[in-house]
Amino acid sequence: MSKFRFSVGPWNIHEGADVFGPAVRPTIAFAEKLANFKKIGFDAVQFHDDDVVPEIDTKSASEITATARQVKQMLDDHGLKAEFVAPRLWESPRTIDGAFTSNSEAEREYASERSLRAVDLCREIGCDLLGFWYAREGTLCAESKDMHAGVHRMIEGLNRVLDYDGTIRIFIEPKPNEPIDRSFAPTMGHALALSAETIDPPRVGGLVESAHATLAGLDPANEMAFALALGKLFGVHLNDQNGMKYDQDKAFGAENLRQAFNQVRVLVENDFGARGEYVGLDVKAMRTQKVELCYEHLKNSLQMVRLLEQKVAAFDYKIQRQFIEARDYEGLEMYVMKLLLGA
Ligand code: XUL
Ligand code: MN
């Protein structure tokens, strides 16, 4: 049994297209995904705004509300909650040069308006958390944007949302690159610095994705611990990543078991989840995976969290203290590796 409640996004079951090749698996209907999510052991669903309302930019306000209510009903029918809504600010022709940091004022305004619609969606589907992954806030050409102005525009964008709804909470999900080269919010430190400058800092926190931290050359467990220490870890996206290359979203623990252990340890030690937070996954099946087995990466990731919770329960804090007192960190490291190997 896990002490955590888990969430997953519908995009985590996908058709397998990558930058160099087309889809290799058929599309699975949303209702079927929900049924399987529940069966596998998830409690909540993460949404982009257009996961709730497809082609949201072409829909009227009443169409948006009607579709959102249907989705809420489907969640209720499956015994699932909504965790958050994240406006998808990276696919529109109006966000080619960024959203809040676009060089075009009209495009910046589009980003804000679309974010406010995402707040409405949160309310319709029953959550109070809005997510910002700043996919295109940064540069491909280093000289193309004024970062000083960009930072203030991102804060302004956050303030617009905070001002629009007095109880909505926002997380920033930092990522250093991809699709942008130089991101304006690459790490949790950047995210929380932005938070501190808003009109209501307690309502703006961060979400750590393991792969994003790894892409920044950082330890995901430390990124989590940093946000936890400041009371700012609003969510996590557990997954894994082999070094600093393209974003892989591999099954949790598949690449770096010790780092995965330390992520679970930090979450357990700091009572993550006690304020209603979910342990979210953001994992993608490999392109080679056949459709009959396209949920395995989710099952495996959940199993890995649970197995690592057992390892955390077995972690002997007295032994840890003895090694710390002797300043024998070689010994402590070997103790952890033997614990993980069951040796
Ligand atoms: C992209 C990523 C997104 C966010 C949600 O790398 O992780 O799926 O988690 O917008
Ligand atoms: Mn993510």
Instruction: Give the nearest ligand 1 atom to 175 CA.
Output: 6
Percent of the chain with pLDDT over 70: 100
Distance 133 CA to ligand 1 centre (A): 6
Percentage of the chain surpassing pLDDT 90?
A: 100
For residue 134, the ligand closest to its alpha carbon is: 1
| Ligand 1 atom 5: residue of nearest CA | 133
335 lies in some domain: no
Asked if the structure places residue 172 within a domain, the reply is yes
Residue 70 within a domain: yes
Domain residues for the domain of 11 are 6-314
* Domains contained in the chain, number: 1
The pTM of the full predicted model, rounded to 2 decimals, is: 0.98
pLDDT in tens, 263-275: 999 999 999 999 9
- Tell me the CATH number at 124: 3.20.20.150
Distance CA 138, CA 97 (A): 9
Q: Catalytic residue positions?
A: 48, 51
Residue 103: CB atoms within 10 Å: 13
Please say if the pLDDT value at position 1 is more than 90: no
Render pLDDT for 318-328 as a digit per residue (tens, 0 to 9): 999 999 999 99
Pocket of ligand 1 (CB under 6 A): 48, 86, 131, 133, 173, 175, 209, 237, 247, 282
Q: How do residues 167-212 score in pLDDT, each as one tens digit?
A: 999 999 999 999 999 999 999 999 999 999 999 999 999 999 999 9
The answer to the question of residue 330 being in a domain is no
- Residue-wise pLDDT for 127-178, tens only, equals 999 999 999 999 999 999 999 999 999 999 999 999 999 999 999 999 999 9
Q: For residue 86, give the ligand 1 atom closest to its CA.
A: 10
Structure tokens at 219: 């330890």
